[in-house]
């Protein structure tokens, strides 16, 4: 008979509308296998909770609260931006993790994050072998940027894509009504530091019924100011108005971001914001059109109220699959989405080796970007459309979504001394 061991689940990096749906998938599935998986702990604030032995006992939450995670955005246990150094640079961090795992009889490590955390997950699994303490480390993909390799898409992306497509359509209807005497150009800035997936989703707002004129700016395409202004002018002259969707990561030909702030985040990435006002002002200065601009920022990735049903299902399915992979003895793998067909959309859960995932970014293929560089191709549409299908509304009370806040009770510490982050 297999020895019963506990599990640790941790959330990493920027949170999403459906990150907790993956947590729900992990915990609900683990609860159905209590013969093999004992307690499910969660790291408070992600991997930092694991390092500092600040663990949450998810067993203290009733089934109803765990079920509520399915429709609650953000990271219910806290996430963090904290990248473990390489094994050579800070072996102590990894040894500490193993020490905490040992102290709490943790045999399963479910890490829910992007490329950086896939790397951490891989290293933990490698080191546990070296140190002779067996851990099954399974990664669950999560990133609104949709930039992980192998998996067809990343949970979190479909919901941001839906939010951005819906918002772009709504704001475009607004501008169209006002254009004769007021705003002619509306600029929406969306996330996407290195990959233009989210801006591409903005292009879905237009279809044959509404003919919304959209100009998209992608990080993959170096910004050509003259061509851009000509496109905007042409749209305003033909349709009376123009909607611009700009990725925060759009760059000048010399590589600088359109709007680069001077601050950096914990991973050393430049903190961005402000491409929309820059582009809007450029349109005003060069073409004389009245503008409005919006920066969606966190609103887009937390907008659980308009989450994609497909995205919610996939986020849950990958959490569930991670536990099932663990039960089947797998290690150093990521649960992934495999697309079977576009139309009708069919998908299944597959498995990727972590060494093929860690620290790799997936950009939009050039075949997804229209020839002029300011829109998307039919191929891109075929890829994106299924991901925003279906609505999955949260319950409401008093006019507001009834999101869950967990008790997050701490597990008593077993180790002596504090670990310095």
Q: Give residues with Cβ within 8 angstroms of 60, minimum separation 6.
A: 407, 409
Residue from 108, 186, 316, 368 touching a copy of itself (CB under 8 A): that is: 186
Of the pair 74, 136, the CB lying nearest a copy of itself is at: 74
C-beta of 15: minimal distance to a copy of itself in Å?
Answer: 5
Residue from 23, 24, 50, 166 touching a copy of itself (CB under 8 A): that is: 166
**Using CB under 8 A, which residues numbered 300 to 359 contact a copy of itself?**
301-306, 308
Strand partners, 257: 251
Is residue 213 a contact point for a copy of itself (CB under 8 A)? no
Is residue 90 a contact point for a copy of itself (CB under 8 A)? no
**Using CB under 8 A, which residues numbered 240 to 269 contact a copy of itself?**
263, 265-266
Tokens read off for 395: 């319950």
Tokens read off for 141: 């993909």
C-beta of 277: minimal distance to a copy of itself in Å?
Answer: 7
Is residue 180 a contact point for a copy of itself (CB under 8 A)? yes
C-beta of 148: minimal distance to a copy of itself in Å?
Answer: 20
Of the pair 200, 352, the CB lying nearest a copy of itself is at: 200
Convert 181-206 to b/e letters by CB count within 10 Å (16 or more is b): eebbbbbbbbbbbebbbbbbbbbbbb
Residue from 24, 30, 118, 165 touching a copy of itself (CB under 8 A): that is: 165
C-beta of 327: minimal distance to a copy of itself in Å?
Answer: 28
Please identify, among the stretches 57-65, 99-107, 169-177, 245-253, the one whose residues bind a copy of itself according to the rule CB under 8 A.
Answer: 169-177
Tokens read off for 376: 């998307």
**Using CB under 8 A, which residues numbered 101 to 160 contact a copy of itself?**
none
Is residue 382 a contact point for a copy of itself (CB under 8 A)? no
Is residue 203 a contact point for a copy of itself (CB under 8 A)? no
Burial class (CB in 10 A: 0-12, 13-18, 19+), 4: middle
**Cα 246 to Cα 216: distance, rounded to the nearest angstrom:** 6
Site string for a copy of itself, 269-298 (x = CB under 8 A): --x-xx-xx------x-----x-xxxxxxx
Strand residues in 277-397 grouped as ranges (E): 291-295, 333-341, 346-353, 396-397
Report the chain's C-alpha Rg in angstroms: 22
**Cα 6 to Cα 359: distance, rounded to the nearest angstrom:** 28
Strand order across the 55-57 sheet: 55-57, 37-43, 5-11, 106-113, 136-141, 333-341, 346-353
Is residue 22 a contact point for a copy of itself (CB under 8 A)? no
Mark whether 145 is an active-site residue.
Answer: yes
Is residue 393 a contact point for a copy of itself (CB under 8 A)? yes
**Cα 145 to Cα 257: distance, rounded to the nearest angstrom:** 17
Burial class (CB in 10 A: 0-12, 13-18, 19+), 32: exposed
**Structural contact between residues 135 and 109, judged by C-beta atoms closer than 8 angstroms:** yes
**Cα 12 to Cα 328: distance, rounded to the nearest angstrom:** 25
Of the pair 59, 273, the CB lying nearest a copy of itself is at: 273
Q: Token pair 């925003």 is at which residue?
A: 388
Is residue 238 a contact point for a copy of itself (CB under 8 A)? no
**Using CB under 8 A, which residues numbered 42 to 71 contact a copy of itself?**
45, 48
C-beta of 272: minimal distance to a copy of itself in Å?
Answer: 10
C-beta of 298: minimal distance to a copy of itself in Å?
Answer: 4
Is residue 24 a contact point for a copy of itself (CB under 8 A)? no
**Structural contact between residues 42 and 55, judged by C-beta atoms closer than 8 angstroms:** yes
**Cα 148 to Cα 114: distance, rounded to the nearest angstrom:** 7
Is residue 76 a contact point for a copy of itself (CB under 8 A)? yes
Peptide bond connecting 344 to the previous residue in cis, omega within 30 degrees of 0: yes
Residue from 67, 87, 150, 178 touching a copy of itself (CB under 8 A): that is: 178
Of the pair 93, 302, the CB lying nearest a copy of itself is at: 302
C-beta of 245: minimal distance to a copy of itself in Å?
Answer: 12
Of the pair 367, 397, the CB lying nearest a copy of itself is at: 397
Catalytically annotated residue among 116, 145, 147, 152:
145
Is residue 391 a contact point for a copy of itself (CB under 8 A)? yes
Among 340, 345, 336, residue whose Cα is nearest residue 310: 345
- Annotated catalytic sites, by residue? 145
């Amino acid at each position: 008979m297999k020895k019963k061991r506990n599990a640790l689940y941790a959330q990493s990096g920027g949170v999403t509308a459906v990150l907790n749906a993956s947590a729900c998938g992990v915990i609900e599935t683990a609860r159905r296998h209590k013969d093999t998986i004992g307690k499910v702990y969660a790291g408070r604030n992600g991997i930092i909770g694991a390092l500092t032995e600040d663990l949450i006992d998810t067993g203290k939450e009733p089934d109803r609260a765990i079920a509520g995670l399915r429709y609650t955005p953000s990271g219910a246990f806290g996430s963090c931006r904290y990248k473990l150094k390489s094994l050579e640079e800070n072996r102590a961090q990894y040894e500490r993790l193993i020490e905490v795992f040992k102290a709490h009889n943790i045999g399963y490590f479910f890490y829910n994050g992007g490329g950086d955390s896939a790397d951490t997950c891989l290293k933990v699994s490698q080191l546990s072998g070296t140190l002779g303490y067996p851990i099954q480390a399974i990664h669950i993909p999560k990133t609104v940027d949709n930039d992980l390799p192998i998996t067809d898409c990343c949970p979190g992306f479909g919901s941001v894509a839906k939010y951005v497509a819906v918002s772009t359509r709504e704001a475009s209807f607004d501008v169209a009504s006002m254009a004769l005497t007021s705003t002619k150009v509306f600029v929406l800035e969306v996330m996407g530091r290195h990959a233009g997936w989210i801006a591409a989703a903005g292009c879905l707002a237009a279809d044959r019924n509404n003919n919304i004129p959209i100009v998209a700016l992608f990080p993959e395409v170096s910004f050509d100011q003259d061509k851009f202004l000509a496109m905007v002018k042409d749209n305003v002259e033909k349709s009376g108005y123009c909607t611009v969707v700009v990725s925060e990561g759009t760059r000048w030909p010399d590589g600088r971001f359109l709007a680069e702030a001077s601050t950096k985040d914990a991973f050393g990435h430049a903190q961005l914001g402000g491409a929309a006002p820059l582009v809007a002002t450029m349109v005003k200065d060069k073409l004389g059109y009245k503008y409005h601009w919006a920066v969606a920022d966190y609103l887009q990735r937390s907008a659980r109220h308009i989450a994609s049903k497909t995205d919610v299902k996939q986020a849950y399915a990958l959490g569930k699959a991670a536990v099932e992979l663990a039960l089947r003895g797998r290690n150093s793998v990521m649960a992934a989405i495999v697309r079977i067909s576009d139309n009708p959309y069919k998908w299944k859960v597959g498995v990727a080796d972590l060494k093929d995932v860690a620290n790799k970014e997936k950009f939009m293929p050039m075949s997804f970007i229209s020839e002029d560089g300011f829109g998307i191709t039919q191929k891109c549409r075929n890829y994106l459309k299924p991901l925003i299908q279906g609505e999955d509304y949260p319950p409401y009370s008093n006019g507001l979504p009834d999101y869950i806040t967990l008790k997050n009770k701490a597990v008593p510490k077993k180790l002596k001394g504090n670990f310095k982050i």
